Amino acid sequence: MGILIAGDSEVIGGPLREILEEQYAIVGEARNAVEAIERYNEREPDVVMMDTVMPIRDGIGATNGITESEPGANVITCTSVGQEQRMKSAIQAGEQGYTTKPFQKPSVLDEIDSVVAG
């Protein structure tokens, strides 16, 4: 299974890469929302781990951009605890699941499995 990591800092990319690379193929990384949409279209990952806060356009905008062309895309939002409004917006944009920072390996892997299973 291929995973795209979209986040503008090592706070997202580093910990997620460490958790995921043992079980999944990291097919790309994006540092902003525009790159996230481009990488999604180029690499067609099975799952996108999408940070909500990124430059140029936020993760919710990137999710909108992805789900406009691919409504069934598996996008998992990565956010901080206490960001309920961002979560509501992410759901409206078409995200399929979420995980919170700081990332805990079991919860991240469970969320991916759950989203992929439908």
Question: Following DSSP, what letter does each residue of 85-108 receive, concatenated?
Answer: HHHHHHHHHT--EEEEESP-HHHH
The tally of domains found in the chain comes to 1
Mean pLDDT, all residues of the chain: 88
Ranges of H-type helices in 30-80: 33-43, 59-69
Q: How far apart are CA 86 and CA 79, in angstroms?
A: 8
Residue 44 has pLDDT above 80, yes or no: yes
Residue 1 has pLDDT above 90, yes or no: yes
Cβ proximity of 8 and 53 under 8 Å: yes
Peptide bond into 102 cis (omega under 30): yes
The domain that holds 57 is classified in CATH as: 3.40.50.2300
Per the model's pLDDT, the better-predicted residue between 109 and 7 turns out to be: 109
Domain that holds residue 60: 2-117
Residue 93 has pLDDT above 90, yes or no: no
Q: How far apart are CA 39 and CA 42, in angstroms?
A: 5
Per the model's pLDDT, the better-predicted residue between 45 and 92 turns out to be: 45
Cβ proximity of 28 and 66 under 8 Å: no
pTM: 0.89
